[in-house]
Amino acid sequence: MEQYVQVSPLHFRNILLLLHTEKVINVENVRKSEFDVFQVDEHKAEPGDIIQFQRENVILEGTVLPSHGENSIIVDLSSMPIEDLEMFNHGYSNTVVAHSKYKILEKRS
């Protein structure tokens, strides 16, 4: 038997984003105070790869940009709607993601 709990307003807002934003994925179940459904990849992304990462309990997608970081990559989020950029990244279209926090969805061709 599955067990559901009351969700805070912040989590509820994130669930609504998951259901209404095309660049994030659906979460099927909300479990005990968090919903961590994201599994990271062991491979390092290269410029041009499409990656997926989790920020504020929402799973986002972006394109890897060229950078010389040893422990992280720079990701272009400009394909996301502007309202989502305002909410997650203060309106900036680029963000930094640690190698241990993303998975590769599509390798560049």
Domain assignment present for residue 2? The answer is: no
- Measured CA distances, 90 to 3, 33, 45, 77, 81 (Å): 35, 25, 24, 12, 13
pLDDT confidence tier of residue 78, bands split at 50, 70 and 90: confident
Question: What average pLDDT does this structure show over 68-85?
Answer: 85
pLDDT digits (tens, 9 = 90+) for 45-61: 999 999 998 887 778 89
Domain of residue 68: give its range: 9-106
Is 86 part of a structural domain of the chain?
yes
- Give the per-residue pLDDT at 25: 46
The amino acid occupying position 28 is E
CATH number at residue 40: 2.30.30
Maximum mean pLDDT: which of 52-61, 75-84, 90-99? 90-99
The pTM assigned to this predicted structure is: 0.62
